[in-house]
Amino acid sequence: VSLGSDNREGSLSVIGAVSPPGGDISEPVSQATLRIVKVFWGLDAKLAYKRHFPAINWLTSYSLYLDTLGKWYKENVSEDWMELRNRLMSLLQDESELEEIVKLVGIDALSPGDRLKMEAARSIREDFLHQLAYHEVDTYTSLKKQLLMIRLILAFYDIASEVMSNGGDIEIISSLPVREQIGRFKYIKEENTGEEYEKILNEINAQLQNSVAKEEI
């Protein structure tokens, strides 16, 4: 209960920063800190150099509150929130592993399915995780809108996977105009997200199906 004339309730978050020389978190102070905290945001200089903000590494960061929060998300946002979240993390992890192969032998050595994974992960990074904090709309995004953003990204990936299994071309699929619409969804105002979501979802279906029809012609 907060102090004041009325009965107010709130929450308190304690945030601390550890900045080891050279960003080496294996040194003793960092390790001692990691042993007592339950949430870790790993700032990444490489992301900052790429102008990707917030520059938080999604593979090294973690939260030990996932199980507790999972129940809350299920009750207040969506039944499948944690499932969708886990799918995003899986794609980002796969991208990290595939990048090592690309560095050695090039993108052309990947199978079409792996290239689609790379494209989906890029969409997660650029269209969902990247934020313009000074943008009038992107500075704050509700959980409802975040859910729709995730659904669009995964809808494109799932439908594209099905289209490719029927002979779709990864080059055509990765350059479809609807991908830009997905990327710009985060700039849509909250009150218009429902209508815009349906439009983009219809475009995803139409453009992916048309991409197969064009190839057959």
CATH of residue 140:
1.10.1140.10
Residue 11 located in a structural domain: no
- Residue 193: name the closest of 155, 150, 164, 154 by CA: 150
**201 contacts 155 by C-beta, under 8 angstroms:** yes
With a pLDDT cut of 70, the percent of the chain lying above it is 95
Residue 179 located in a structural domain: yes
Helix (H) or strand (E) holding 136: none
pTM: 0.89
For residue 6, what pLDDT is reported?
A: 74
- What average pLDDT does the chain have? 92
Tally of structural domains, the chain? 2
For the ranges 2-16, 39-53, 88-102, the lowest mean pLDDT is seen at 2-16
With a pLDDT cut of 90, the percent of the chain lying above it is 77
Residue 5 located in a structural domain: no
Range of the structural domain that residue 148 is part of: 66-214
- Tens of pLDDT, residue by residue over 127-162, are 999 999 999 999 999 999 999 999 999 999 999 999
84/159 same-domain check: yes
140/175 same-domain check: yes
| Token duo for residue 124 | 């997660």
For residue 24, what pLDDT is reported?
A: 84
